Structure formats: C-alpha cells, structure tokens
C-alpha cells in the first residue's frame, strides 16, 4: 500500500549528502538518495564549497524521489541535519564569500587557546556555553578568519552553520536550532541564547546570526517556489529548523525527554563520537556540553581520527580493512589529523612496540585498537561528567549503541566489544541522522514530538550482542603509551 504521507530527512555530512524518504505513519524507509561532497585542504585545512552541499541536496532528493516511486505531492515536510561547527560566511545575496571551514579544520587551534584564556579559562567557558573552545568550534574559526582574512570577515553579511545554510536555501528565511547553535561557542546553554559577552570578545555582530528557533516541532518556514522547483517537491511544505548531525542522530535513536535515557551512543564515522541524553545541563571542560534539539542536553565527546584514519593505515599496508588481527605488543595511535579528544591539534600518528614477528595484520589491528581506546576513554569522561563512575559494574553493564559506518564493519564491532567488555546494540535504522531529521520534518508538518515519533518508528532498536571478556591487557598498554607519549602536550609533568 503506498504511503499516505512522506517526510524527507537530509543528512549533510562531511563526505556526502543522504536524503531519506520515510513513510511518516510507520517510519519505513522508502528510498535513500545520495550525492558526494568534495573536501580540500592540506596542513590542517579542511574546506568545502557550500554551493556543492546545495547541489548535492538537490541531487539526493531527486534521486530518492525517483527510487521510491512515490508522488511528490505526498511529501509534507523536509529537514536537514548537518555536520556541526563549520563556518559559512555569506554576502548580502546569500552567496558564500569563501569555502566553508569544516569541523576538522585544525588551523584555528591557537585561536581556540587564546579565546579560552581571554574569557578566564575553561571553567568560565563551560559555565557560559557548556564547552571549551577547540579548533573544531566555530568561534575559533571566526577568530582565525578575522586574523588571517580580515577583508572577508568584514564583508560578511551573514554567518551560518552548514545546516543553517541549507535550511535557509529551502525556506528562504534564516533559522537555526539550540542543538547546532550550542556547538558554535557563542551560544549559551545556560541562558538559552547567543552570549553577548562572547560575541563582543569575538567581534561578531549578533545581527549576522540566524534566529534560534524553538525546540522539537520548530519550523523554519515553508519550502519556497524556487527551492521546490530545484528539488521536485511541492512549494509550501514544512521546512523544519533542523539541527546538527549528532543531535539528529539522538532524535533518530529515540534519545531525549520522550525516549530512551542513559544509553550512550558511539558513532564510528570519519570522526569517533560518543554522546548520551541528559536532563541535567553538563558543564565539564573534558567534553562538549551541547543542547539537544528537544530541550534536553547532549553531552558529547568527539575524536578526529576514526574510520578514515584506520582506512588510511590499511591502504598504507596494502590490506583490506577487515584483514586485521589483534595488535599484540604493537601500539598504533592513528592521530593522522591531530586530535580533538584529547585536545592535541598538533599531534601525529604514533607507532611503538614493533617486533620481528609483528605482522601487517597486527599493525592494522593496532590501528583499530588505538582508535577504539581513544573513543572509549572519551566515553568514560562523559560518564564522569554526568555523575557516573565508569568502573561501577551497573554503569559498565549498560549497552553501548554503535552507529555510523564502523558499526557495519566486523572488525570495528568486535574491537569495541573486546576493549569495552560491554553489551553492544546495533540499531536497525541504517541512517540515524537522516531518520532523526525525518522525525523533525514530521514534527514541523504536524506538530508532533520528534523524539516520540522516532521512538514509535523503532529506529533505535536492534540486535544486542552480549559482552566479551574485557581485554584489559591491551587497554592498559595503549593507555600507558598514550599518557606517556602525550603528557607534555597535555600539560602534565
């Protein structure tokens, strides 16, 4: 039976756009349209032309419509969940003045350190915004732009995040949401708005920023005739305010006030991300204390080096990504792009513990282990920030939900199980970010609660794998190397 009502959730990530067409009545995925992005840059720079995101969105939506066979008139809403932190600067006509600086652009690390000091240190930042500036945060990139490209900064008529840029193209009006805004560094999770003290510190006029929409069923507006023609959709359908990709994933997994709590999520993608829903505002310098799109909070820690870094090691070794074995005595920390958690923007990859009998498969396995230990240590920090002891048996027994490309990789899943010693849930929804965006689109169209909608769709459910005995020997060996190798950078003695 053809669907009565269809919504479209868009995941605009670092590498690609995915547009998922969803039956709004039951959450059934009808089709997934895809289009790639291009990322350029060297020596810490990572940039993309925002116009290609728009072209990719058009391509992906049209491809999804063609695949699904549904009539465009059944579509009632669309929402975008986009990669966080990217800096998009526009002229008065809404055209990009330069390529967007992406979240994994590390050039602004010195500016992040300077901003931290200028406001009074990490505690001052977490008290106001919930997070301490790092190179990934948009505020650091804006400071870098003012220092290195002052003419571009002065010419900016609008400053947007990636999802803001696309939402504005759809609705014709500017809007953001509390979740994605909380990753800029200039939005206060304490006050629920842009922080005037920080804006003054940055030399950023609040008039350049989009209005912050409400939570849950917030609408940015209606699809313009121009955007409708580009996408092949009816003009006037609901355009949700959307959110950041991590917040979108949380909605898609049913995390939040209307859904599951205390279920930490590990997202294994280009970056490794761990987050959980919380009704208490987190304020720890060790993690990002984001807001969630439904009015709760989303404490999060993110590592720069995950699947992309391990795939690079596999390529260097001439191996398939699944041709790996436990690392033995070898330790490989694949910090190929610096690192964000721990905050080591100048770090590089490190290999130690080689023996005559070390095999290429063990080296690749060691890269998996190094990436997984880094993510799991971030998970422990998140638990502590939420008032939990990660060594408490009741906490350690809670399942980890694995999403992202790595969750479909045998070696990734088994490495997480072996090094965490915890049960692992593999949610059945293949595209949690886009499904979360689809739930936001449904909410914008009919006023429903997006988390409750996603929970009803069952997109966060999936098979649970039992725990494996924890490989404490490998864990302790990697942690020892990490702490000894990087203690000067971490400020220890």
DSSP state of 326: -
9 contacts 440 by C-beta, under 8 angstroms: yes
In the block, which residue shows the tokens 């979108």? 248
In angstroms, rounded to a whole number, what is the distance separating the alpha carbons of residues 435 and 237?
A: 18
According to DSSP, the residues that pair with 267 across neighbouring strands are 273, 403
385 contacts 250 by C-beta, under 8 angstroms: no
**Residue 450 burial (C-beta neighbours within 10 Å; 0-12, 13-18, 19+):** buried
Strands 400-403 and 424-425, by their bridges, are parallel
Strands 75-82 and 6-12, by their bridges, are parallel
According to DSSP, the residues that pair with 350 across neighbouring strands are 333
H or E element that contains 368? helix 360-385
In angstroms, rounded to a whole number, what is the distance separating the alpha carbons of residues 412 and 431?
A: 18
Which two three-digit tokens encode residue 178? 């509390």
244 contacts 227 by C-beta, under 8 angstroms: no
195 contacts 187 by C-beta, under 8 angstroms: yes
CA angle 274, 278, 284 (to 5 degrees): 65
245 is catalytic: yes
In angstroms, rounded to a whole number, what is the distance separating the alpha carbons of residues 27 and 7?
A: 9
**Catalytic one of 164, 195, 245, 449:** 245
Residues known to be catalytic? 245
């Amino acid at each position: 039976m053809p669907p009565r009502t269809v919504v479209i959730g868009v995941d605009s990530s670092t590498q690609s756009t995915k547009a998922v067409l969803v039956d709004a009545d039951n959450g059934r995925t009808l089709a997934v349209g895809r289009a790639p992005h291009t990322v350029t840059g060297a020596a810490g720079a990572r940039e993309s032309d925002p116009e290609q995101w728009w072209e990719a969105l058009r391509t992906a939506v049209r491809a999804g419509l063609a695949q699904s066979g549904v009539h465009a008139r059944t579509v009632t809403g669309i929402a975008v969940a986009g990669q966080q932190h990217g800096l998009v600067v526009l002229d008065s006509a809404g055209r990009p003045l330069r390529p967007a600086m992406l979240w994994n652009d590390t050039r602004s690390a010195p500016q992040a350190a300077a901003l931290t000091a200028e406001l009074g240190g990490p505690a001052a930042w977490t008290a106001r915004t919930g997070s301490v500036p790092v190179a990934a945060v948009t505020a650091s990139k804006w400071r870098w732009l003012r220092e290195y490209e002052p003419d571009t900064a002065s010419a900016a008529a609008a400053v947007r995040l990636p999802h803001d840029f696309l939402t504005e193209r759809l609705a014709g009006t500017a809007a953001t949401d509390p979740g994605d805004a909380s990753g800029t560094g200039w939005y206060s999770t304490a006050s629920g708005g842009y922080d005037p003290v920080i804006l003054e510190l940055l030399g950023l006029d609040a008039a350049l920023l989009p209005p912050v929409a409400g939570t849950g069923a917030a609408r940015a507006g209606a699809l313009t005739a121009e955007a409708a023609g580009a996408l092949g959709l009816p003009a006037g359908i609901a355009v949700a305010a959307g959110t950041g990709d991590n917040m979108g994933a949380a909605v898609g997994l049913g995390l939040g006030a209307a859904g599951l709590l205390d279920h930490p999520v590990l997202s294994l993608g280009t970056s490794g991300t761990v987050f959980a829903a919380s009704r208490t505002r987190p304020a720890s310098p060790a993690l990002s204390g984001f807001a969630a799109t439904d009015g709760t909070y989303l404490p999060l820690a993110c590592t720069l080096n995950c699947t992309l870094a391990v795939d690079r090691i596999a390529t260097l070794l001439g191996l398939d990504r699944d041709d790996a074995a436990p690392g033995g005595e070898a330790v490989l920390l694949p910090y190929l792009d610096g690192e964000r958690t721990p905050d080591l923007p100048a770090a590089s990859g490190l290999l130690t513990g080689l023996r005559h009998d070390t095999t290429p498969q063990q080296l690749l396995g060691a890269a998996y282990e190094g990436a997984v230990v880094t993510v799991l240590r971030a998970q422990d920090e998140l638990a502590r920030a939420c008032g939990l002891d990660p060594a408490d048996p009741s906490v350690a027994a809670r399942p980890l939900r694995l999403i992202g490309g790595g969750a479909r990789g045998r070696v990734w899943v088994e490495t997480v199980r072996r090094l965490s010693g915890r049960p692992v849930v593999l949610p059945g929804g293949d595209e949690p970010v886009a499904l979360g965006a689809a739930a936001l689109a449904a909410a914008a169209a009919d006023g429903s609660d997006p988390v409750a909608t996603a929970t009803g769709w069952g997109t966060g459910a999936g098979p649970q794998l039992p725990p494996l005995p924890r490989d404490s020997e490998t864990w302790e060996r990697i942690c020892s190397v990490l702490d000894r190798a990087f203690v000067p950078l971490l400020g220890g003695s």
